Amino acid sequence: MAKNQNISIFSFFAGAGFLDLGFEKTGFNICYVNELHKPFLEAYAHSRRVMQMAPPTYGYSHQSIEALADNEKLIGAIEMECKYGNICGFIGGPPCPDFSVGGKNKGRKGENGKLSEIYANLVCDRKPEFFLFENVKGLYRTHKHREFFEYLKQKLGRFYHLNERLINSIQYGAPQDRDRIILIGFRRDCFPAVPLDWGRLVYPNRTAFEYSWPRIESFVPDVAKPVPNHIPLELTVQHWFDKNNVEKHPNANHAFTPRAGKAKFKVIGEGDDKKKSYKRLHRWRYSPTAAYGNNEVHLHPYKARRLSAAEALAIQSLPAEFELPESMTLTNMFKCIGNGVPFLAAKGFASSIHNHIREHHESYSEQLSRRNQSTAA
């Protein structure tokens, strides 16, 4: 990688920008952002303004990914980055309900399932130097989904050296048990066939789950409990609530207050998170997967209410200064939070990719230059 080269990111299915923020904080340049759902795109732009970050170089795109195959603005942006001599990468996590274990299970034929192949086609057509594909582990879980994933990899593998891993966000220090498939490709004509070094995980393998975490306890509102011995405090819900000062956060009062079900809020024990719905978090434990759909009700550890948006953002390991706009509906707030990639995990992926580019793009370029000089001689 040349000293003056930038690494430019084209982001698809960007949501409110959690994945992008992880890349940006690792030294990448977010130059193009695509998100079909307008409230999410508005939240993305709002958060950047609040954090005093410049808008993407080529702005925001509010189009379906199907419409981007021959989009002149996208093609022009890629050509411009190439003209500047920059390295380009596509990142994105297509919507996943059709592959989720608890979702629609329609697979590649579902409206969302189709988007994974459209994204893969876009990568193959435009051929950025690298790409990242993020999705649920449901792509591994059933034969038909796994077959489709292998088909996508075969298609992408014609042009890219592929690196794949099932990761859990807690491995990167996020306070959340969240499995995801990550597929990263580096273009064959730009990089040697060197496997990606996934970096030094904070908690490799299953080590984060091997501590003596507290179990279910009686729910007692607003009563302090001492920190248990011998647990990593930085993986606990309470640590992140304190770290992000959630009670003073701009999204502190954004929480669902249902008309019915409040009595149930008082009888579920602290840490009882094994049911499909009405899960109460434990203050001195990590959170289950941050999923806030119709059937997922996550309760505050020691208050008889649902989580606030500020608390949910903290569980996604976002910086305290990240916020969602006041005008956003609660449904959209919690949907975009639940859909997002935990910030610390995003930083981890970005760091691995950045190191790979720095170490191997330059060496391959030098190798190619020597080969060309030898041929010319």
Most confident of the following: 42-51, 293-302, 357-366: 42-51
What pLDDT does residue 137 have?
Answer: 85
What pLDDT does residue 108 have?
Answer: 54
Q: Please confirm, yes or no, whether 190 is among the known catalytic residues.
A: no
Domain topology for 7-203+343-376: Rossmann fold (3.40.50)
Q: Which ranges of 244-321 does DSSP label H, i.e. alpha helix?
A: 262-265, 309-315
Euclidean distance between CA atoms 38 and 292, whole angstroms: 19
Place 305 in a pLDDT band, splitting at 50, 70 and 90: very high
Euclidean distance between CA atoms 196 and 199, whole angstroms: 9
Eight-state DSSP code of residue 54: P
Residue 160 identity (one-letter amino acid)? Y
pLDDT in tens, 126-161: 999 999 999 988 888 777 888 889 999 999 999 999
E strands, the chain, where? 7-12, 29-34, 60-61, 87-92, 130-135, 160-168, 179-187, 279-280, 298-299
Instruction: Please identify which of the residues 31, 88, 96, 336 carries the catalytic annotation.
Output: 96
Instruction: Name the nearest CA neighbour of 249 among 322, 302, 329, 318.
Output: 322
pLDDT in tens, 48-94: 999 999 999 999 999 999 999 899 999 999 999 988 989 999 999 98
So where are the chain's domains?
7-203+343-376
